[in-house]
Structure 1
């Protein structure tokens, strides 16, 4: 989250959950470095939990103002926050049981379903390219970011009430790669004075489309050998992209005949939300939807909400593709599937996105074995593969291309939302590309003036 102080007012950009080591996460998520009641507005770029997941706690602690976002973001955030509240409750119950064994008092969840519902009531949905006044002298316009459904870059037009001096501040949120299977490309923004840009892949390049497609075909050969493909995938964005990619393979007769399961209630709900917001689709997907059928449906595809149906997958014989959340394998049903299948060399664990440090997904990708799942060690004997072409984040070259398309003086550039190595790499490249701009990599808790 980023706190902007403008003309004596406080505007919060994002309010996400910090996801890392348990003790640090608890400390950082429960306490805010400001009084929530002092905020004038919150502006949200998209509905991933690392951007919106702590909003119920913010409103519970006293924020009563409006939370501005796009229509699709409001729809997605509604289901994301409800799901997050259920996870908070389950985690608190688990920890409380462990503490009870040691004679310690129980813990409370960070927030409840009721808190999530109250936060959603404060959402104000705004269409793309439609300016909205969020504070005195501050107007926000959302431009497409191409990251997930409803994602937006936040354009803040600032006009000093005392002097009528104007400036424009652009917060990119998370920027997509462009040429997405489903979504429109990120929009360029004009007349920008100050830029705040993400750097998730600020020093890395993704695989080419051809390389990734070949790797994916190789991965699917696992099915021909009778193995199972376990796909940890984020419920929002990545699951829908992967299903659409499988749909395309199927229509081209390149997909082996095997059942496909999306085993995640949140993924099922998120897919339903995608169907409700075709205004976010690119032209190809919109045409597919209009002329053929839903890109998220196939004859051999089953969506699973029910727990008992999910458990039946444990005894499923023969090849199958099981797509399940979470993408970093830190929570959700995918951990059960990993526990059941990671020890079989005939199977494949296919990661299709970023896994942060300290997560189970990162450990598996790093070659660690055994790994700890539900408190038990599991030897990693299955093949492990990363196909990052479906990543929702622009890589280094794509981030730089996006900045090239931004017009205006660009007096200062703030590089955020990335591991230190990635942020510094992007900052170095931006300094060379924009020598007249002051490029800053802010540290947590630092304040900077524009």
Structure 2
């Protein structure tokens, strides 16, 4: 078995790794690269392999930095099956069709500008037709079931506890050599989701390292902080603007608002989930209650979908979204994208960043080069839609709501794997990866290596 590292090496987006085993070529993830404009232009670059020569694709979960280039892979020649956990397969349909629509509309708008300047038109990264062609190749799988995907090659997906349907991937050959790819590992105790399932053994581990250099705040402290932000917003009379991924973080926020509806006085706000995609994701959650943890199943048994709060409005149209920006206070606005590098959140930031009574709450990782990272790092002025905006809003980074395990959680997940297999760290910036590698070697006496683009390893 040989692995080639094709993406998310020294960065937290663009997940992609190529496995060659028993004469087969299997790609693990095919994610979008996210960041500033120059960084995102890399998405159109040729793949470091021939898509037509791939035999299969395995998806760890449905976040766009893990699935976002799948339609491009298919449009460039891939014709094999795409394996994913059943909920991931459903969520991928929502994510990829939305991504294609954005690519088409952004390109149409840019081409109008180019036409006025006498420039040649551009083509979108991929179209809705490309996304539909890719989705037809999906092969949904349950957790924990061993599947022989090719003679002698076996696949099993284990619950990773990151978002609904997220999986750690186990692949082994007839000789029993096993590769484990962590995907993204969630923290223990995440609401709605089950804790990450342990993996018993491996000969080689590809492991995420997003928060490999830090520990999250205790959940009780995080809840107190979030409640304090809502209390401050009530006093100031401003809006609370929350950039959040449509899959995972939006649902978790609604869950905590339902749990603390009375003590946080959530009923005094108008809540807008300004994301048609996030609304569709709520429907997927309703179809997959079997994947919930015991506490969430008990809550769902007592109440009919507690995520649909009485003062929640899911906005579908652009006109509905625009109406929100007429409100200068009393609203909680949850919108994508989670890193503020696209989507409706940019419009809400444009209208609220300059207000000193507004609150902007960051509840997820902000990749280098994104607008979210600039704001988290304290930028005093940012540019949105061609306008320079003075940042007067109060900014809050609530790290305890992360869907990624912290250093302690990652170490615990690896600790269940017998044999202390060598670890190659992916999906993390170098400071985080370096700190985690040092701690893995200190605690487990294993070999921990920072992957690099194009690096190849044989197991």
Question: For this structure pair, what is the TM-score category when the shorter chain's length is used for normalisation?
Answer: over 0.9
TM-score using structure 1 length: 0.96
Check whether the contact 1:220–1:256 (CA below 8 A) recurs between aligned residues: no
Residue number among 161, 181, 184 corresponding to 2:191 in the alignment: 181
The count of residues paired between Structure 1 and Structure 2 equals 443
* Counterpart in the other structure of 1:38: 53
* Counterpart in the other structure of 1:83: 98
Residue number among 171, 195, 199 corresponding to 2:209 in the alignment: 199
Alignment of 1:156 onto 2:171: yes
CA distance in 2, matches of 1:127, 1:402: 21
Once the two structures are TM-superposed, the CA of residue 101 in structure 1 deviates from its matched residue by: 4.0
* Counterpart in the other structure of 2:416: 405
Alignment of 1:127 onto 2:136: no
* Counterpart in the other structure of 1:220: 230
CA-to-partner distance for each residue in 1:280-312, whole Å, 9 max, x for gaps? 211111111112221211111111112222111
Residue number among 294, 310, 313 corresponding to 1:302 in the alignment: 313
Once the two structures are TM-superposed, the CA of residue 253 in structure 1 deviates from its matched residue by: 5.8
CA distance in 1, matches of 2:261, 2:130: 43
Once the two structures are TM-superposed, the CA of residue 349 in structure 1 deviates from its matched residue by: 0.5
For structure 2, the residue ranges without an aligned partner over 5 or more in a row are 1-15
Check whether the contact 1:224–1:256 (CA below 8 A) recurs between aligned residues: no
CA distance in 1, matches of 2:102, 2:159: 30
Check whether the contact 1:37–1:64 (CA below 8 A) recurs between aligned residues: yes
Once the two structures are TM-superposed, the CA of residue 45 in structure 1 deviates from its matched residue by: 0.5
CA distance in 1, matches of 2:278, 2:59: 21
CA distance in 1, matches of 2:103, 2:264: 43
Q: Secondary structure at the match of 2:97?
A: helix
CA-to-partner distance for each residue in 1:372-394, whole Å, 9 max, x for gaps? 11111111001000112111100
CA-to-partner distance for each residue in 1:229-260, whole Å, 9 max, x for gaps? 01111100000000111111104464361111
* Counterpart in the other structure of 2:10: none
Check whether the contact 1:30–1:110 (CA below 8 A) recurs between aligned residues: no
Q: Secondary structure at the match of 1:287?
A: helix
TM-score using structure 2 length: 0.94
Q: 1:177 to 1:312 in 2, by over 3 A?
A: same
CA-to-partner distance for each residue in 1:89-133, whole Å, 9 max, x for gaps? 122223323433443211100110011011000000010011112
Q: Secondary structure at the match of 2:341?
A: coil
Deviation larger for 50-59 or 255-264: 255-264
Once the two structures are TM-superposed, the CA of residue 63 in structure 1 deviates from its matched residue by: 0.7
Residue number among 81, 84, 106 corresponding to 1:66 in the alignment: 81
CA distance in 1, matches of 2:258, 2:366: 25
Check whether the contact 1:205–1:396 (CA below 8 A) recurs between aligned residues: yes
CA distance in 2, matches of 1:78, 1:230: 27
Q: 1:201 to 1:29 in 2, by over 3 A?
A: farther
* Counterpart in the other structure of 2:251: 240
Check whether the contact 2:208–2:426 (CA below 8 A) recurs between aligned residues: yes
Q: Please, what is the CA RMSD of the aligned residues?
A: 1.4
